[in-house]
Amino acid sequence: MDPKINIPHEELDQVIQKSITRGRLKMKTKKKKFTVLKAVACAGLVLVGSLVASVNAVPAFADALKEIPGMSGIVRIIEFDRGVGVGGKVTDGQELGDIVWAREGDRESVTLKLFTEDGVAPAPGYFEIVEEQYPNRLVISINGVRRVSVPDWAAPENSLLLTDMYRMVTLDDSMQRIVLSFATPVDYTVAETENGGIYIAFEEKQTDSLAPVYSVRTASEAALEPIAVIEEILLWEHGVETARLIHDAKGDAFVEVGYFETEAEAQAMKVEFEENLGRSLFIEERGESDIPANLK
């Protein structure tokens, strides 16, 4: 296994602040019948990412990073736009072999390490990372990963920010979805490393609290594949872009149809999709950093 990549907190902040301007981007959402608040954004809610460019595209920034101990292994800093970032290369047959957590000062990091049959992957497979709220989490979807051999999925006990870290079931056998859930909103930076890794650094974000929302969701289930089927039905048969699979406080899973500013909007959507899905749904009031409840 490769050594951990430790990035000095203060030095990284200084370089990023001097080289790249962080931006605030407000999501524009389509007007839907029930004003569904999208899982990754909603009208009036602001998603803040670290808007940075490719290391190769900004030579001065790349040179500055290389001067920091431990940063020589960074190949590319991922640019985020409206809470979504993409990277990696189209490939197949990779294995997610390890996840390394580290902390330095107020910053924590998680590195996903990818391998091939010949050893360390030259580059991670094509991936997408999406920032979500209610709860605060990053969803990492990596294509071309056929095998997973991570020994331990539990969030580190001494982490101050991670509340959960898990592999989210998907019906696509050539893709893996990894979820990092956080106790608070976080600022984050994502990079590709030369040893086939995806490096995610994060720290608490100082921001005003958001108002609670009303989530329309299924019951929690221990069996994951049937829940994943419901997610697929909502996404592809009903075109519900806000549908997402979430783990609850007990580690079971459920599918959320969407979340809303008012209980009345949630109730209207609940009635419609109980009929469409042929099953009972719940309305859960949830705060920004609340871990979803185990509802049966």
Residue among 191, 52, 167, 178 nearest 109 (CA)? 191
pLDDT score of 195? 84
pLDDT score of 286? 98
Domain shared by 193 and 217, yes or no:
no
pLDDT score of 74? 85
Q: Is residue 1 part of a domain?
A: no
Domain shared by 62 and 129, yes or no:
yes
Q: Are 76 and 191 in contact (CB under 8 A)?
A: yes
Q: Is residue 145 part of a domain?
A: yes
**Distance in angstroms (rounded) separating the CA atoms of residues 211 and 289:** 11
Identity (one letter) of the amino acid at 204?
A: E
Beta bridge partners of 201: 109, 189
**Distance in angstroms (rounded) separating the CA atoms of residues 95 and 93:** 7
Which residues in the chain land under pLDDT 70? 1-72
Q: Are 96 and 112 in contact (CB under 8 A)?
A: yes
pLDDT score of 136? 97
pLDDT score of 18? 38
Angle between helices 59-66 and 9-19 (to 10 degrees): 170
Domain that holds residue 221: 213-286
pLDDT score of 20? 38
pLDDT tens for 45-71 read: 333 333 333 344 344 444 544 444 444
Bridge pairing between strands 145-148 and 94-104: parallel
Beta strands in the chain (DSSP E): 24-26, 46-48, 74-77, 80-81, 84-87, 94-104, 107-116, 119-120, 127-132, 137-143, 145-148, 162-168, 175-182, 186-193, 197-204, 213-217, 244-247, 253-260, 282-286
Name the DSSP class of 27.
P
pLDDT score of 194? 84
pLDDT score of 159? 95
Provide the domain count of the chain.
2
Domain shared by 49 and 193, yes or no:
yes
Q: Write down which residue in 187, 204, 221 finishes a domain.
A: 204
pLDDT score of 229? 96
Q: Is residue 64 part of a domain?
A: yes
pLDDT score of 151? 81
Q: Is residue 4 part of a domain?
A: no
Domain shared by 88 and 171, yes or no:
yes
pLDDT score of 154? 81
pLDDT score of 3? 40
pLDDT tens for 133-148 read: 999 999 999 999 999 9
Identity (one letter) of the amino acid at 225?
A: E
Domain shared by 71 and 180, yes or no:
yes
